[in-house]
């Protein structure tokens, strides 16, 4: 399937394209990408650009071999303005910078606000350029890579195509640099463990993402009904093929029955703070709010507060659901003790109230 009939496209550009020497921005590889974006807009498509590379772009201003967290943030701050300037020079229409954090993604109000802002920009023919805000985020609060960030952005704006531009021309069944008989997968209908095994765990020299993060991003996007492509951004012919209706890379097919928005956000965008293991799985007919009481608790993992998101598992390790929790991990550890529960009044709300909230609840397939 081509992008010819797509109306809203999210394009993610990797660091290796922005800063090929890992030491400052270069427009060398970006001209063909910019021309592709211009062509898409001329065809009536709305485009959102997710651009990595601020750290690599800013590195040229810092004469040091030692990388600290503060220095990396400083490089991102210096490089972000350089990167935006390069993009601005390639277009004759206005652009807008959006710097996001993981907190923006996992907070539903802020997530919806991102969508509304991008919608307004697109309505007024402004090109949104999105990046993670590396100047303020700590490693434990980061989305982590722009592949997954771009997939979340694509989902938030209901894109119908998501294109990841990188330094390879798709997913292969084995490493093509090591195996001459490696075969490129041009069409992938289901993302499973076998697909992840093909991806391996390598990352590029400039960025934080590798093929595995691209598969993760494809899984997020396709489950929301978005056709996803991995394409060689260094080869100008890739863009000629895309605009001509051909697939130059690997195409991950959109799910025929996409997840609902709220379920998708909870499943793919919200990071769980801990886990609660239950003594028995919940039946499909069970009311989750009435069914998940403290009597079911086998163990509690991690530290979390009221309102945090937790993962529920059965005692065989299968994932059951993700949900907002009504009690802290400290109190749930207390209630998990059979002796403690036996000493509570039998009518105590601690015994009968659900430990999870129905504010946000995602029932998961066992995995």
Q: Which residue positions form the known binding site for ATP?
A: 12, 166-167, 208-214
Instruction: Give exposure, 13-35, as e/b (b: 16+ Cβ within 10 Å).
Output: bbbbbbbbebebbeeebbebbbe
For residue 281, what are the contacts with CB-CB under 8 A and spacing of at least 6?
314, 318, 320
The neighbouring-strand residues paired with 312 are 276, 321
Q: Are 75 and 59 in contact (CB under 8 A)?
A: yes
- Identify the residue whose tokens are 């496209």: 9
Query: Binding site for substrate: which residues?
Result: 52, 134, 146
Query: Binding site: which residues?
Result: 12, 52, 134, 146, 166-167, 208-214
Half-sphere exposure in the Cβ direction for 234 (13 Å, CA): 10
User: For residues 351 and 195, what is the distance between their CA atoms, to the nearest angstrom?
Assistant: 44
| Segments in the chain forming alpha helices (H) | 15-18, 30-42, 54-58, 69-90, 102-106, 108-123, 146-156, 193-199, 211-222, 236-243, 261-264, 288-291, 329-335, 338-343, 349-352
Q: Which secondary-structure segment (H or E) carries 281?
A: none
Q: Are 298 and 280 in contact (CB under 8 A)?
A: no
Instruction: Give exposure, 38-61, as e/b (b: 16+ Cβ within 10 Å).
Output: bebbeeebbbbbbbbbbbbbbbbe
Nearest to 198 by CA among 179, 225, 226, 221: 179
């Amino acid at each position: 399937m081509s992008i010819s009939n797509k109306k809203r496209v999210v394009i993610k550009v990797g660091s290796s394209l922005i800063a090929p020497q890992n030491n400052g921005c270069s427009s060398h590889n970006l001209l063909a990408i910019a021309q592709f974006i211009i062509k898409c807009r001329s065809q009536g498509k709305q485009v959102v650009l997710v651009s990595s590379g601020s750290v690599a772009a800013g590195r040229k201003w810092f004469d040091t071999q030692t990388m600290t967290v503060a220095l990396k943030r400083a490089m991102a701050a210096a490089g972000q303005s350089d990167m935006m300037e390069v993009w601005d020079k390639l277009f004759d229409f206005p652009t807008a910078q959006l710097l996001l954090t993981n907190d923006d993604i996992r907070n539903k109000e802020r997530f919806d606000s991102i969508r509304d802002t991008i919608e307004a920009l697109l309505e007024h023919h402004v090109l949104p350029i999105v990046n993670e805000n590396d100047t303020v985020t700590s490693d434990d609060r980061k989305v982590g890579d722009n592949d997954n960030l771009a997939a979340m952005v694509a989902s938030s704006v209901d894109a119908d195509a998501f294109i990841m531009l990188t330094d390879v021309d798709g997913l292969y069944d084995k490493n093509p640099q090591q195996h001459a008989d490696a075969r490129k997968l041009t069409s992938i209908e289901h993302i499973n463990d076998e697909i992840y095994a093909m991806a391996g765990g390598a990352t590029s020299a400039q960025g934080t993402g590798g093929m595995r993060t691209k598969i993760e991003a494809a899984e997020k996007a396709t489950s929301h009904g978005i056709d996803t492509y991995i394409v060689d951004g260094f080869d100008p012919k890739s863009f000629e093929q895309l605009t001509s209706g051909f697939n130059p890379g690997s195409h991950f097919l959109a799910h025929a029955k996409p997840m609902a928005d709220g379920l998708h956000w909870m499943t793919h965008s919200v990071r769980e703070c801990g886990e609660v293991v239950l003594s028995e799985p919940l039946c499909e007919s069970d009311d989750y709010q009435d069914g998940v009481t403290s009597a079911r608790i086998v163990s509690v993992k991690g530290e979390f507060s009221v309102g945090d998101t937790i993962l529920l598992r059965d005692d065989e390790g299968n994932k059951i659901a993700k949900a907002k929790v009504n009690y802290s991990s400290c109190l749930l550890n207390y209630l998990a003790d059979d002796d403690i529960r036996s000493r509570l009044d039998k009518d105590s709300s601690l015994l009968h109230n659900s430990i999870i909230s129905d504010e946000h609840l995602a029932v998961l397939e066992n995995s």
